Structure 1
Amino acid sequence: MIHFQLTKDDFFALQKNFIENSDYHKGRARRVTIVLMLLTVLWGFLLAIFLLPQTISVPLFLGLAIGSSLFLALLLFPFLKKAYVNITLWQFRYLLNQETKWPRDITLYINEHGIERNSLHNNVNKRLQVAWEAIERVSGDEKNHYLYVEARDTIVVPKQHHMLSETEQIKINDLLQKHLNITL
């Protein structure tokens, strides 16, 4: 049994991990990057048209305008590529700060059959029982493992917990390693 409090920071780290690793968000990030690149090329072209002298020949004028707009887009590409993740996380952090349900008490029971999660908030106990086979994807960061059960549900398992003895921690790590192939 692991009892801990899921904080806003833990939940934000989960969302950041999901945004960076899910196929849905990777596709959206690619599309947003393409749109931002096209807008950058357009703005760079318009800026070059206004800044370049009108006395040069038309082919040279267009070549410089197109070249400078493409150069600007390539120069800003690293920033534009990160824009989707940063904007999405900013929006999520804003919404998360409006919530009052944090921290949330979580109790995990990990055994040979699966994981049971009990979540208590405002005297409402949410219970989720998951067999090992039902876990679709595993991810993690330096602090937690994230076990994705369905598209909208995730179990957060701390990698180290101060309330567990060393033998209990080893047993939990062995179960996670055995059933989920997590390298610890």
Structure 2
Amino acid sequence: MEGPPEEFGSGYRLLSSVVVPRPIAWVGSYDADGTPNLAPYSFFNVVSSSPPVVYFAPGGTGEHRKDSANNAIESEAFTVHVVTRAFAEAMNATSATLAPEEDEFEHADLDRVDATHVDAPRIADAPVVLECDLYDTQEIGAQTLVFGEVVYAHVDDDLLTDGKPDVRELDAVGRLAGNYYASTDDRFRLERPE
């Protein structure tokens, strides 16, 4: 079969099913009243290493933006947790549709603490947390891209080799499509050609 994205159900269906696995940004933020929010987004990646910038792209623009985007824009800060296999169930629990005044940290039974350098919450025992200052936003179609400059990082000592993050120690979870996820426990190596 071939054709425009609509032939496959929708652009979302096509892209979310074939651009896999996608890393998950588990975004922590505070609203204007100080209510914490925690939600996962699989439209997420690195934009730049210098300055270190990441982005996540929740659905909705304008008055239809997701709480995470609104909070990050209003507070100019957010945290990004790397989802590991040990936190996969809790991450899934935070994807539930809750009222804006409800606390996803409590809903998923996660210990919340304030970030160290930005005005945003984080999961106390998450193995990797990136603290971000809002860098920029951009609306593309039905998505609001939220860019954050990483100003501080928390990386569990168990994930380090010689003081540097070691991908062999990080059991990260990625999003496939529908209810399917993948983890990084099945790794292989290819030498990069010269």
**TM-score scaled by length of structure 1:** 0.21
| Higher relative helix content | 1
- Of the two, which has the highest radius of gyration? 1
Higher RCO (Cα < 8 Å, 6 or more apart): 2
